[in-house]
Amino acid sequence: MNRSTETPVEDTASATGQAQSQSLVPLFIVWTGQAFSLLGSKLVGFALVWYLTVSTGSATVLAFASLVTVLPRILFGPVAGALVDRWNRRIVMIVADSLIALATVVLVVLFALDVIQVWHIYVLNFVRALGGVFHWPAMQASTALMSPEKHLSRIQGMNQILFGTMSILSPAMGALLIDLLPVQGILAIDVGTALLAILPLFFVFIPQPKITVSGKGATEGKPSVLDDLRQGLHFIRGWPGLLMIIAISVLVAMLLMPAFSLLPILITGHFGGGALQLAWLQVAYGAGAIVGGLVLSVWGGFERRIVTMLLAMALMGVGFVALGVAPANGLPLAIGALFFSATMESIEVGSIVAIIQAAVPPELHGRVLALDIALVTAAAPIGLAIAGPLSNAIGVRPWFVLGGLVTTALGVGAFFVPAIIRIEDQVTRNRVKTA
C-alpha cells in the first residue's frame, strides 16, 4: 500500500492510544443516559409493532415496518461512518438523538389527534432508524477514546449486558404499559429518555481524533466524503486480518441470524409447543446475553482479544448444533443450548468490537464500524432468503446444525490463519494506511 499525503485538519486529540481518557466516569455518565434512551426506543418499537398488529393484522405490514428500520443501516451506514469521522462526534450524537426524539414527538401528536396512518409509521420509523445509523458509530468511536484500551472489552461486555437486559425487560414493560397507557403515552416516555441521553452530552468532554486528509482532497484541503470512504475501504483492504474478521462476521450473520427467525417454526413444528415455549427460548437468549456480557465485563477476556473472540465463536456454533439436534422431547436441552449460544455470542460480539476499536486508528473508527454493521445487517436478509426455501424443503433443524457447524469450523480454523491470530500485533494507531 502506498502512503498518501496526510494533512492535519483538526488536532483536538492525538490519534494514539495516549489520547484515551484515563477516567471512566465521563463514559459512564454518557453510557447511563444512552441506556435510558435505549429502553425508550425499545418501548417505542414494542408499542408500534403491537399497534400495527392489532390495527392491521397484516404480516406484510409488519415485515415492511421491520424493513424500513433495517434499510438505513444498509444504504447509508458507510456514508454515515465517513461523516462521523469528519464531524464532531459529540454533536453528531446530540443531533442524532434529537432527530430520533423529534420523530417520536411527531408520532405522539399524530396518535393524540387520532390521524395516524400506517405510512406515517413507516416514514417516521425510517427517520428514527436514520438517526441511529449516525448515533451508533459515533458512540462506539467515542467509547474507544473515552476508555483506556485495556478496558475496551469490559465496556463492550457492559453493552452486551444492556442489550440482553433490554431484550427481556422492554417486552415485559411494554406489555404492562399497553394496558395502562394509550400508544402516545408510551411513545412520550421515549421523548423523556431521549432527553436523559442528550443532556449529559452538553457537559461531558468527548475527545476527538486527529483528522487527516488523504488523496486528491489533501492538496486542495477540501476532501470529499467519497475520498473518506475510499480511505476507509483501502485501510480495510490493506489489513488482511481485519478484512478476514469482518468477512467471517458477515458469514456467521448470514448463517445464524436467520435461525432466530425460524425459532417459532422450530417450536411449533418440532417441539410441539406454543407461545409460552417460544417465550422461554427468548428469555433464555436474553439471559444468556446478560451472562455473557457480565463475564466479559468482569473478566475482560484473554490478553489477546482475538483468542477470546474465536473461542467464543466456536463454542457458539456448538450451542447451535445442540439446539438443532435436540429431540422433540428435549425442549429443556434446546433452552439450555440457546442460553449457552447467547452467552458465547455476547462474548464474541463484545470482543470483535473491542478489537476494531483497538486496532483501527480513531480517525477511521466511524467508517470501519459503520461498514461492518452495514455488511452484517445486509447479510441477514440474504441468509433468510436462502434459509427460508431450504428449510421448507428439508426442515428447520438442518439449518441450525449447518449454521452451527460452519460457525465452529470458522472459529477453530481462524486460529491457524496468521493474519487473523496476529491481528493485535499489527495495531498502529499513529498512522493511517491509504492507497
pLDDT in tens, the chain (435 residues): 343 333 233 333 333 344 444 567 888 888 888 888 888 888 888 888 888 877 887 767 776 787 788 888 888 888 888 888 888 888 998 999 999 999 999 999 999 999 999 999 999 999 999 998 888 888 877 877 777 777 777 887 888 888 778 877 777 787 788 888 888 898 999 899 889 989 988 988 887 776 554 444 444 455 677 777 777 788 888 888 888 998 999 999 888 887 877 887 888 888 888 767 877 887 888 899 889 988 988 888 888 889 999 999 999 999 999 999 999 999 999 999 999 999 999 999 888 888 887 777 877 877 787 788 888 888 877 887 788 788 778 888 998 999 999 999 999 999 999 999 988 776 544 344 444
Please answer whether residues 361 and 209 qualify as being in contact, where contact means their C-beta atoms are separated by less than 8 angstroms.
Answer: yes
Least Cα distance to 145 among 26, 20, 14, 12 occurs for 20
Query: Could you tell me which residues come within 8 angstroms of residue 78 by beta carbon, excluding any fewer than 6 positions away?
Result: 229, 232, 367, 370, 371, 374
pTM over 0.85: no
Give the pLDDT score at 6: 35
Give the pLDDT score at 199: 92
Phi–psi pair at 358, nearest 5 degrees: -80, -35
Please answer whether residues 383 and 255 qualify as being in contact, where contact means their C-beta atoms are separated by less than 8 angstroms.
Answer: yes
| Domains (range + CATH), the chain | 23-211 (1.20.1250.20), 224-426 (1.20.1250.20)
Q: How far is CA 5 from CA 1, 41, 217, 235, 239, in A?
A: 13, 43, 9, 14, 19
Give the pLDDT score at 340: 96
Other Cβ atoms less than 10 A from the Cβ of 277: the count is: 19
What is the distance between the alpha carbons of residues 17 and 147, in angstroms, rounded to a whole number?
Answer: 10
Give the pLDDT score at 426: 60
Grid cell for residue 94 = 446530540
Give the pLDDT score at 408: 97
Give the pLDDT score at 59: 62
Q: Are strands 7-10 and 211-213 parallel, antiparallel or unpaired?
A: antiparallel
Give the pLDDT score at 272: 87
Task: Report CA dihedral (163, 168, 170, 172) to the nearest 10 degrees.
Answer: 180
Give the pLDDT score at 115: 92
